[in-house]
Copies of this chain bind each other. A is one copy, B any other.
Amino acid sequence: MPINTRNARFLIHDVFDFPAHYAALEMANAPEADLLDAILEEAARFSENELRPLNQIGDQQGCRLQEGEVITPQGFAEAYAAYVEGGWPSLIGAARYGGQELPESVALFVEDMTCTANLAWSMYSGLSRGVQEALTAHGGERQKQDFLPPLISGAWTGTMCLTESHAGSDVGLVRTKAQANADGTYVITGTKIFISAGEHDLAENIVHLVLARIDGSPDGTRGISMFVVPKIDLDGTPNNVVCSALEDKMGIHGNATCVMNFDGARGYLVGEPDAGMSYMFTMMNAARLVVGLQGVCLAQASHELAATYAQERVQMRSLNGPSRPDLPADPILVHPDVRRMLLTQKAFVEGGRALVYHVGQLLEIAEHASDDEQRRLADEEADFLTPIVKGFLTEVCFEAVNHGVQIFGGHGYISETGVEQHVRDARITLIYEGTTQIQGLDLLGRKVLMTQGVGLMHVLGRMNALAQELAAHADADLGRFGGQLSTLGEEWATLSMELGSRAGKDANEIGAAAVDYLFYSGYIVLGYLWARMALVACASEVMEAGAKATCRFYFERLLPRIAAHKAAIEAGAGSLMDVSDEAITSGYGA
């Protein structure tokens, strides 16, 4: 079944008008509407023809490690060659290093297609983009000349090497060491784990971005530096970096999750010593946006299969009497709860994609707008929304892929149908690039309380403007959505302020509320976007019924979940912190 670009086009043109956005930013090679559609369709075709057929093969075969070499699943290397041949890796790279210098959001649209077709495969190319962006932002000119051209052409791929076995969420515990050589290079020694695409047979070289501590640097996050460590060094000799093991894991089997040993490898310092963490943080927004998108993509893939199945599978009669008396039973799409599950998938997929594209647009404004104030506002809003994209979307999309399995019933548990793979693949999106818990703390602690809620205020401003527009609309449903948004905005602001006041007395109140606050905020943001989409659809008469009906479903059946999260937030930290460790752990273990 071809990847459906209908929703992406609705968002790109009707909701967010990317062509006008590019024009306003006066971006150099900004594609006009027709070209943008052509790129999108070509990406959908490539993903459908080259990547989707490898998705289940990748899951079944996984990767193998043979004498330090990783063999990827059958067809992965050929598909990557076709991807390079098609010029896809160079979309957004700077022209002076061989790139096409298209807007970053174009790469996001393309990644939407590749991830929907094959998440495990798309991680090989996706990580390279992250490395390109990091070197572009923080590398010296010499480093750029050395590393960017082959990364942009796709001849080389890249990785991010952060995690160590004892340093996951807590990156400050990193022990990998860097010792300076006389020539300005460094000797890197340590072991990194969970390195996606750390070793493979897709490209002739792999560029590792490694976080390590220079001898004598302080403990914790302040003493961490970033290094480029190529698998094959610039002089063509193999570097002392090897993949010593592959992880056996729940999903994304087609992507090699490597233990990487740096055994005195030559590394090149990126930017300034001890500034590695701040460089990581500038890359983080883009990386977390992609992970949120991955959740959306898997939910979309699941929805495609489940929606088709619900029309073909006949089982039991409608409670109101047979809808298809010519068949032995009715298509399961007649059953209200099957419809509920499909609509839930659709609401999260299309609402989630809207959020990802909106933040993608904000990041471009924050980067390229000529006006300082406009850049600042966009940056603050993107900062605020990013943990929601990463934390909330991956959680609700995990719910969505589970609905896909449930719609297939027993057949959904069987690998052949493909929907259980979505669940296994999606499970990692709640963990990597910062767990849901880390996102919750980032949202509430850093983005709301530490900044007095500047980003939240921008979103509330948007909500209020939309609420007024909706309230004035002739359509009664839209008016109702507007009224609800208006009330919710006030409630959200009040709740956030109350939390700030409680957090001032006890910091554990932040941790106790963080994940519920993440969900609470996420549901409201998606409500805003659904109302906005319903309004646009009504105005343009594009798929009006679909967007308005899904918006109604969202407001009536999903948005009320905020009541549970609000109650949990208001309950405070007491029930979590006033209980003994022993009572929680039931005396197991230590």
Contacts and interface: CB of A to CB of B under 8 A. Distances in A.
Nearest to A252: B413
Q: Which of A545, A561, A589 has the most CB of B within 10 A?
A: A589
A557 B568 contact: yes
Nearest to A432: B410
Interface in A406-437: 406, 409-416, 420, 423-424, 427-428, 430-432, 435-437
Interface stretch (A1-9, A88-96, A230-238): A1-9
A411 B163 CA distance: 11
Using C-beta atoms within 8 Å of the partner chain, give the interface range for chain A.
35 or more
A410 B431 contact: yes
Given A251-B413, A553-B576, 8 more contacts: A333-B581, A336-B577, A340-B576, A343-B575, A545-B580, A549-B583, A560-B564, A560-B568
Given A406-B435, A415-B248, A586 B6 contact: yes
Interface in A422-475: 423-424, 427-428, 430-432, 435-437, 440
A541 to B, nearest CB: 14
A576 B169 contact: no
Q: Which of A303, A319, A346, A427 has the most CB of B within 10 A?
A: A319
A351 to B, nearest CB: 13
Contacts of A581: 311, 333
Q: How many copies does the complex hold?
A: 2
Interface string A315-355: 11011100000001100010111111011001000000000
A561 B560 contact: no
Contacts of A557: 568, 571, 575-576
A556 interface: yes
A339 B515 CA distance: 12
A511 B410 contact: no
Nearest to A506: B320
A132 B333 CA distance: 38
A1 B336 contact: no
A337 B564 contact: no
Nearest to A551: B575
B337 A437 contact: yes
A578 interface: yes
Nearest to A167: B315
